[in-house]
């Protein structure tokens, strides 16, 4: 093995350790939404949506890039805590745009959602529970919440789309009720 090979393998190992350790800390890996889920999420959002669309835990960017292309009048904010997927999607956005996409490395619990028009997420049961109080406190009435796979316990979905895939994946649509 020469020095170049050793550096490449070392960097790959560091990236893997970073992804695995953050996944263990936050409770979920940066597993991307499928193409069918991306399409279902896009279809759930009204065509003329303006304002802010959040992806809470934007991973490698599999949802935020198509969202930014589909909703040019909106600003898409991807919030991702894991360094490697955040860095990869950030570099892609810096190189190729689109200009209505903002990607931040943060814990979404520390981000105010008050100005959101739409919130998208693909998390896990405990992650959804941890967001319920935040949604109730910060989101405006009628804000649309779209969750890939996982429900918001205690909330009645406005609609549930079942994907034609091997898991029959549900895509939940919720509206924030009047306070």
Ligand X SMILES: C[S@@+](CC[C@H](N)C(=O)[O-])C[C@H]1O[C@@H](n2cnc3c(N)ncnc32)[C@H](O)[C@@H]1O
Binding site for ligand X (CB under 6 A): 22, 26, 28, 30-33, 55, 57-59, 62-63, 79-82, 85, 107-109, 122-123, 127, 148
Taking the complex as a whole, how short is the minimal distance between the CB of residue 4 and ligand X, in angstroms?
Answer: 30
Residue position matching structure tokens 């070392």: 10
Choice between 171 and 176, CB closer to ligand X: 171
- How far, in Å, CA of 75 to CA of 81, rounded? 20
Contact 89, 67 (CB under 8 A): no
Tell me the DSSP string of 29-53.
Answer: --PPPPHHHHHHHHHHS-TT--EEE
Choice between 66 and 157, CB closer to ligand X: 66
Choice between 116 and 123, CB closer to ligand X: 123
Taking the complex as a whole, how short is the minimal distance between the CB of residue 60 and ligand X, in angstroms?
Answer: 7
- How far, in Å, CA of 152 to CA of 73, rounded? 28
Respond yes or no on whether the N-terminal peptide bond of residue 98 is cis (omega within 30° of 0): yes
Taking the complex as a whole, how short is the minimal distance between the CB of residue 59 and ligand X, in angstroms?
Answer: 3
The residue number whose beta carbon is nearest to ligand X equals 57
Taking the complex as a whole, how short is the minimal distance between the CB of residue 55 and ligand X, in angstroms?
Answer: 5
Choice between 167 and 179, CB closer to ligand X: 167
Taking the complex as a whole, how short is the minimal distance between the CB of residue 178 and ligand X, in angstroms?
Answer: 28
Choice between 59 and 68, CB closer to ligand X: 59
| Torsion over CA: 82, 86, 88, 89 (sign) | positive
Closest among 119, 116, 117, 68 to 92, alpha carbons compared: 68
Closest among 93, 91, 84, 88 to 66, alpha carbons compared: 93
């Amino acid at each position: 093995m020469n020095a170049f090979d050793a550096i490449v393998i070392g960097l790959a190992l560091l990236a893997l350790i970073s992804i695995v350790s953050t996944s263990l800390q936050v409770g979920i890996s940066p597993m991307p939404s499928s193409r069918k889920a991306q399409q279902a999420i896009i279809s759930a959002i009204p065509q003329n949506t303006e304002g802010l669309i959040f992806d809470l835990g934007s991973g490698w960017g599999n949802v935020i890039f198509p969202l930014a292309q589909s909703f040019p009048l909106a600003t898409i904010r991807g919030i991702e805590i894991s360094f490697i997927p955040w860095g990869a999607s950030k570099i892609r956005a810096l190189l190729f745009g689109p200009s209505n996409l903002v990607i931040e490395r943060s814990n979404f619990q520390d981000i105010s959602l008050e100005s959101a028009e739409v919130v998208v997420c693909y998390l896990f049961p405990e992650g959804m529970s941890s967001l319920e109080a935040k949604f109730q406190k910060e989101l405006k009435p009628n804000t649309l919440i779209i969750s890939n796979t996982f429900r918001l316990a205690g909330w009645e979905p406005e609609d549930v789309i079942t994907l034609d895939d091997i898991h029959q994946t549900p895509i939940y649509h919720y509206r924030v009720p009047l306070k």
